[in-house]
Amino acid sequence: MIDRKKILIVDDHQDNIFVLENRLDLEGFKVITALDGESCISLAKECKPSLILLDVMMPNMSGYEVCKVLTNDEVTKEIPIILLTALTNPEETAKGFEAGAFDFIKKPFSRVELLARIKSALRFSETNKLLLNLEKINTFSATIKKTNHEVKQPLTLISLAATAIKREIENDELDKDSIKKRVKYIEDSVTEITKTLEFMKSIQSPDVKEYLENLNLNYFVETSERLT
């Protein structure tokens, strides 16, 4: 079954939505639509589209405001947003990027440009997901290696202490101080292992926020220079 990427189109003019929806449907995309910012936010959280085409000039909530809400929400922050606008000055472009937009498409736009920018955004999004998954794999791999190293030594001490206690028990006269000393080794080793395991439990996912911010920033700078 072919994976049809889901795109959310947001515009307060139904005719604009119709044109975009028709073009994207012909290209094999699955399209959902919204006529205002509030509906866009709700649909984005519910449907989790692969991409959002968001008109800038809308009543009540502008595209900039909607973009800022979506990019600051944990559920929707990874969805790339392309702003659709007739505004061409550099200040408006900068305002869009500051709100978290991935790219701009300036009206009127051609079919070729529309599809090229959509595909670019989708490729970037997929690359981000791949990098995140690779980072997770690398992080947990490093954690396993660290755990192996941290646990190996206390386990060795436990084994040696147990052997020493066993040997001491077999003697005719018990050296209680010697046994207590070995027991202390075991207790300390158990404490170290417990700390290591607690550390492992605390690792839920890798911290790659700074990496992604830098990655997006580089793209935004390049895109801004290209568009202005």
Q: How would you classify the pairing of strands 51-55 and 6-10?
A: parallel
Q: How many domains does the chain have?
A: 2
Same domain, 101 and 167: no
Q: What would the pLDDT profile of 111-120 be if each residue is shown by its tens digit? A: 888 999 999 8
Same domain, 93 and 187: no
Tell whether the model's pLDDT for residue 110 goes beyond 60: yes
- The answer to whether position 1 is within a domain reads no
Same domain, 109 and 159: no
Please tell me the predicted confidence (pLDDT) of residue 203: 61
Query: What is 2-28 written as a DSSP string?
Result: ----EEEEE-S-HHHHHHHHHHHHHTT
pLDDT top residue among 218 and 32: 32
- The parent domain of residue 179 ranges over 134-208
Alpha carbons 225 and 221: distance in angstroms, whole number: 6
Tell whether the model's pLDDT for residue 152 goes beyond 90: no
- The answer to whether position 124 is within a domain reads yes
Task: Please name the residues in contact with 64: beta carbons below 8 A apart, sequence gap of 6 or more.
Answer: 56, 83, 95, 96, 99
pLDDT band for position 220 (50/70/90)? very low
Same domain, 73 and 50: yes
Please tell me the predicted confidence (pLDDT) of residue 216: 47
Q: Among candidates 4, 13, 5, 179, which has minimal Cα distance to 84? A: 13
Residues 109-135: what's their mean pLDDT?
A: 81
Highest mean pLDDT among 62-66, 94-98, 170-174, 224-228: 62-66
Same domain, 66 and 179: no
Same domain, 72 and 172: no
Counting every residue, how long is the chain? 228
Task: Please name the residues in contact with 78: beta carbons below 8 A apart, sequence gap of 6 or more.
Answer: 125, 128, 129
- The answer to whether position 178 is within a domain reads yes
Same domain, 193 and 98: no
pLDDT top residue among 73 and 195: 73
Rounded mean pLDDT of the chain?
Answer: 82
Same domain, 97 and 109: yes
- The answer to whether position 222 is within a domain reads yes
- The answer to whether position 162 is within a domain reads yes
Same domain, 100 and 168: no
